[in-house]
Amino acid sequence: MRKHNFLLLKILIIVGLSSSCRTDELGDSIFDTNSPDRTKFDSWLLENYINKYNIDFVYKFSDNESDKTYNLIPADLKKSQILAQIVKHVWLEAYDEVAGIDFTRQYVPKMIFLVGSGAFDGSGSVVLGTAQGGLKVTLYAVNDLKLEIGFLNEYYFHVMHHEFAHILNQNKGYDKTFIRITESGYIGNDWYLDTDAAAQKKGFITAYSQYEANEDFVETYSMYVTHDQTWWDKALATAGATSGTLITKKLDIVRTYFSTKWNIDIDSIRTVILRRGNDVPTMMYQNF
């Protein structure tokens, strides 16, 4: 269980299995580009998100976009501005650098929605991020933003890379021998009963990987590209020789999938993501 301030942290990944992940050619933006009342930040978002990637970056609180199950608060404006610049630099431009901007434009979710607070469920648990059907990513706890890559990975980038891998899987399937490596270990909704360390001893890189095979695949990818080799080696050491071998077999299939289906070397994208992440504390952030 990922814990922060003694609370269980849960990241819920909701994956649409329909035609939500489009592979059509980008045409005119589906978002309003003609508003006469844009702030300087809105104009920056128009240039850097809508025009460049066809992504709507929504930082103003909206009842229509928020999950009414929770009591939520709006995202702080200044922190939203900083996070917008971080997401662009560390996530979007990392894929631009390795796979090309046309690849990024085609497959990224079409909305990023910010919420100031975590989504507390009343039992001590808090949702940090959701991703829906390849179209929308919601990032919570923006008002707690810290310019530290470990925090950003836990709260934001892990869910982005996780969902991005789902989108790619829905467009081009992966080798199903992956499923058979730990087929008897998937436990569905009971995944949260384990810690990550306990899951690693069973051949899963995180506790959530135990939910089912598709989640296991994208967790293996997202955790690999957002952590350095020291972290990964420690996870394998925790797993032990036998279970560590199972995790390595899964990673080999993930690596082959990205190489053969998308012409992406996951070690190259990892290097770029980590390098860009290290820029975060000292980046020159634009003031609006």
Q: Please report the pLDDT score of residue 269 as a whole number.
A: 98
d(C-alpha 145, C-alpha 141), whole Å: 7
The more confidently predicted of residues 13 and 83 is: 83
Summarised one tens digit per residue, pLDDT across range 99-151 is: 999 999 999 999 999 999 876 565 555 566 666 667 888 888 899 999 988 88
Per the listing, tokens 């989504």 go with 119
pLDDT digits (tens, 9 = 90+) for 7-33: 334 444 444 433 334 444 455 666 555
CATH architecture label of 1-151? 3-Layer(aba) Sandwich (3.40)
Domains of the chain, residue spans: 1-151, 172-282
How much is the average pLDDT of 186-200? 95
Q: Which of 74-78, 151-155, 179-183, 233-237 has the lowest mean pLDDT?
A: 151-155
Architecture of the domain defined by 172-282? 3-Layer(aba) Sandwich (3.40)
pLDDT above 70 (res 70): no
pLDDT at 225 exceeding the cut of 80: yes
